[in-house]
Amino acid sequence: MTVLSLARDALATGPLCDPCLGRLVADRSFGLTNRERGHSLRVALALEDDEPYEAPETECWVCEGECQRYDWWAETAAAAVRGYEFDTYQVGTRVPPLLEENDVLLREEVGLEEGDGELMKSAFNREVGKRFGGLTDTAVDFGRPDVMVHCDLSTDEVEVQVNSAFVYGRYRKLKRDIPQTEWPCRDCNGTGRQRDELCDGCDGTGYRYDESVEQLTAPPIQEAMDGSDATFHGAGREDVDALMLGGGRPFVVEIDEPRTRHVDTEALREAVNDFADGKVEVEGLRLATHEMVERVKEHDASKTYRMDVALGDSVDEGPFEAALTELDGATIQQDTPQRVDHRRASKTRVRQVYDIDGTLAEDGETAELEVHGEGGLYVKELVSSDEGRTEPSLAGLLDVDAEVTALDVLDVEGEDEPFADDDFFRSVEETEP
């Protein structure tokens, strides 16, 4: 079938606009719009038949005039995103069932097969999209754009979905008894009340702890980006009573519906640290992509800990050094610790101790340990044995009770290479105003 015979068959079905006629041969040639293709087919038919050229009808039985409103839809969409800062977009269209059926009928009438030409929905997305991009000076992104615009042809409404913005960094926790994220009170399920009275467990706050790393870092980022909400994602977490020191722990703060994306990360770092008031400190803030969230959450980094240990009885230097020698490089089997059994799956984990050093106090009743271990190693239980649930352990090898009285995380992996891939960050060019 030639393109002219296809055009004759199409025009015989009823009045068609140039865009709907041109869509039937959208896979032919390049550098032409469907409107230009449709116009060219009409001209070619007039020349072949030696008949006067006839302009297209004002009505089109397929799109019912929607193809004449590309500019209106683009302008309406641009107005809908006014006030939001974004670099990338995607346009989607909800085509009424009747128009979709008309599109299918036209294709059937002219004998098109799947993959031939272009569907109305695809053409609408593209035509409105390129106009929208021109009006907003932004680029289309078919992966995860900053904003998604949905045009509903049945209601003449535009819906806007503003995707999250992400800030990556590392945090140090400089005070104990601060959880990583908000910790709702279990007694009242976070409501702050029990039997119409203030909850005794949280004094009516709804939280077990007054502050968290999340609450000390996310608010300034949310404010700077003018978002509707913020979510904190960490690369693992330290115990509530542990400090996080050294190079810090990787994290990402996700900001919902941000109106501002181009923020000065150095100024943001200063704002977060001022807000945290010495309890938490952040560094290395960078604007990131959504892929960084999973990268951080799935990162099973090795960690280095420093621990103060209280021993149940006085221990001599010889047995203490012998126990450390046996633990150094050892493979540890750990049943889920009793202290986390209520929120973790009960199973036996096998983890490696990469390195362990320690100093025993003169009285033999306390010690200081430094342990570098595989991600997921429960170091408190490595010391205490958790009533035999961890083997081997310091307590088991010394045959005395042993308890961690203070715990500091000194390092998470020790270098930033797992997070240094620029594919997971927004480039400088994208983030400059």
> Domain locations in the chain?
3-162, 165-300+417-431, 303-412
Within this chain, domains 3-162 and 303-412 share the same CATH topology: no
Cis-peptide into 392, omega within 30 deg:
yes
Structure tokens of 119?
Answer: 């569907």
Strand partners, 409: 244, 305
* pLDDT, tens digit, 9 for 90 and up, residues 280-301: 999 999 999 999 998 888 877 8
pLDDT tens for each residue of 226-259: 999 999 999 988 889 999 999 899 999 999 999 9
So what's the pLDDT on residue 417?
54
Please measure the distance between the N-terminal and C-terminal CA atoms of the chain and give it in whole angstroms.
52
The residues near 370 (Cβ < 8 Å, ≥ 6 apart) are 304, 305, 306, 307, 356, 357, 358, 410
Q: Which residues contact 57 (CB under 8 A, 6 or more apart)?
A: 15, 16, 17
- Contacts made by residues 398-402, CB under 8 angstroms, sequence distance 24+: 398/311, 398/315, 398/319, 398/320, 398/323, 400/311, 400/312, 400/313, 400/315, 401/311, 401/312, 401/313, 402/309, 402/310, 402/311, 402/312
* Lookup: tokens for 134: 């021109």
Residue 364 token pair:
């033999």
Per-residue pLDDT band for 196 (boundaries 50, 70, 90) equals: confident
pLDDT at 367: 97
Cβ pair 261, 227 in contact under 8 A: no
DSSP string, 178-206: --SS--B-TTTTTSSEETTEE-TTTTTSS
239 is known as an active-site residue: yes
Interval 82-104: pLDDT, tens? 999 999 999 999 999 999 999 99
149 or 427: whose pLDDT is higher? 149
Query: What is the CATH T-level fold of the domain 303-412, as seen in this structure?
Result: Alpha-Beta Plaits (3.30.70)
Contact 335, 345 (CB under 8 A): no
Arch. (CATH architecture) of 3-162: 2-Layer Sandwich (3.30)
Percent of the chain scored above 90 by pLDDT?
77
Which tens digits make up the pLDDT trace of 164-186? 999 999 999 999 999 999 888 87
Residue of 146, 239, 335, 386 marked active site = 239
In angstroms, the CA 112 to CA 1 distance is 10
* Count of CA atoms in the C-beta half-sphere (13 A) of 124: 24
Structural contact between residues 115 and 132, judged by C-beta atoms closer than 8 angstroms: no
**70 residue type, one letter:** Y
CA distance 313 to 166: 51
Rounded CA-CA distance 19/57 in Å is 12
Strand, coil or helix: 139: strand
Output the pLDDT for position 33: 95
Give the burial string for 400-415 (b: 16+ CB within 10 Å, else e).
Answer: bebebeebbbbbbbee
Provide the 3-class DSSP secondary structure of residue 56: coil
pLDDT attached to residue 429: 42
Please report the pLDDT score of residue 427 as a whole number: 61
Instruction: List the single range of 91-105, 324-338, 363-377, 415-429 with lowest mean pLDDT.
Output: 415-429
CA pseudo-torsion sign 336, 391, 248, 293: negative
8-state DSSP, 336: P
With H, G, I as helix, E, B as strand and everything else as coil, classify residue 90.
strand
**For 165-300+417-431, which CATH class?**
alpha beta
Q: Specify the residue for token string 């039997």.
A: 195
pLDDT of residue 207: 80
How far apart, in Å, are the Cα atoms of 298 and each of 8, 26, 129, 246, 282? 59, 44, 35, 21, 21
Q: Which of 23-32, 195-204, 329-338 has the lowest average pLDDT? A: 195-204
Q: Give the whole-number percent of the chain exceeding pLDDT 70.
A: 95
Distance of CA 419 to the CA centre of its chain: 14
Measured CA to CA, the distance from residue 372 to residue 365 in angstroms comes to 23
